[in-house]
């Protein structure tokens, strides 16, 4: 059941659509000092990257990130720091690969064809060097023994270089996750279906003043009242004495 689950995860990983922020060929240019650190102190860097991938919460730690049959059975809950240190020193390649799988599953990152070729070449060269060593040991030929030593040196060199580039790639991706490259730009064009206004519903009128009453021009005060001034005061009925007719002093 576990093997089927792992195969299912690997098949699902092939459908991811996001890409690494930096491919393996560009990691040296992207962060050369960290690449050198990962080359000379690979297990220490692997420890720091795994802890950082767990958001510095070691209570979430599982051996090999849950991708191996021994995961969860090594007493990680009692002493996760010691278990992680044992993993990165005794199973260095698995620790690097587990951190990589964690980041890929979290951010839906696929591995490019170029990266796959580099990783595949590393594995093939390692297997070829192992086969040559076994054949040279069985046959006892000096030529094969010398060839196996050359292949072993080349395999170790490629292995250390690729692992350093992979760990630098993981570090750059987590720098992007933690916002060290700045917030994402908001000046992006909306999708096409949002740019079209033909099929969009009419938005409600929010924030607009109500329409004036019928017969009153919009934006103008009633007749005789200037905008911003109170209406004029008219005298009330009975305020003046009644006017006589004809007026007093008028003679026919």
Q: Does residue 70 have a pLDDT over 90?
A: no
Band (229; pLDDT cuts 50, 70, 90): low
pLDDT surpasses 50 at 200: no
Give me the chain's average pLDDT, please: 76
Torsional sign, CA 69, 127, 169, 186? negative
Nearest to 172 by CA among 18, 17, 22: 22
pLDDT in tens, 141-150: 788 888 888 9
Lowest mean pLDDT among 10-24, 55-69, 100-114, 169-183: 10-24
∠111-117-122 over CA atoms, to 5°? 110
Q: 9: closest CA among 53, 55, 68, 62? A: 68
Nearest to 70 by CA among 46, 95, 99, 104: 95
Domain ranges of the chain: 2-177
Q: How far apart are CA 144 and CA 124, in angstroms?
A: 18
How far apart, in Å, are the Cα atoms of 97 and each of 46, 104, 193, 239, 249? 10, 10, 40, 100, 121
Lowest mean pLDDT among 16-20, 41-45, 55-59, 186-190: 186-190
Model confidence at 129: pLDDT above 90: no
């Amino acid at each position: 059941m576990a093997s089927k689950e792992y195969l299912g995860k690997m098949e699902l990983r092939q459908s991811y659509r996001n890409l690494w922020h930096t491919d393996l060929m560009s990691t040296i240019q992207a962060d050369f000092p960290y690449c050198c650190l990962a080359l000379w102190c690979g297990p220490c860097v692997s420890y720091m990257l795994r802890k950082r991938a767990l958001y510095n919460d070691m209570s979430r730690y599982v051996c090999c990130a849950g991708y191996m049959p021994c995961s969860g059975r090594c007493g990680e809950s009692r002493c996760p720091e010691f278990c992680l240190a044992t993993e990165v020193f005794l199973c260095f390649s698995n620790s690097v690969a587990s951190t990589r799988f964690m980041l890929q599953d979290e951010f839906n990152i696929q591995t490019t064809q170029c990266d796959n070729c580099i990783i595949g070449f590393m594995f093939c060269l390692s297997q070829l060097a192992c086969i040559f060593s076994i054949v040279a040991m069985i046959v006892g030929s000096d030529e094969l023994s010398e060839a196996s030593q050359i292949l072993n040196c080349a395999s170790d060199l490629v292995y250390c270089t690729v692992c350093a580039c992979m760990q630098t790639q993981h570090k750059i991706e987590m720098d992007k996750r933690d916002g060290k490259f700045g917030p994402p730009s908001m000046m992006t064009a909306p999708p096409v279906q949002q740019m079209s206004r033909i099929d969009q519903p009419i938005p409600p009128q929010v924030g607009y003043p109500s329409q004036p009453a019928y017969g009153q021009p919009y934006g103008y005060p009633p007749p005789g009242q200037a905008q911003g001034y109170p209406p004029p005061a008219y005298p009330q009925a009975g305020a003046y004495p009644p006017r006589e007719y004809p007026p007093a002093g008028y003679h026919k």
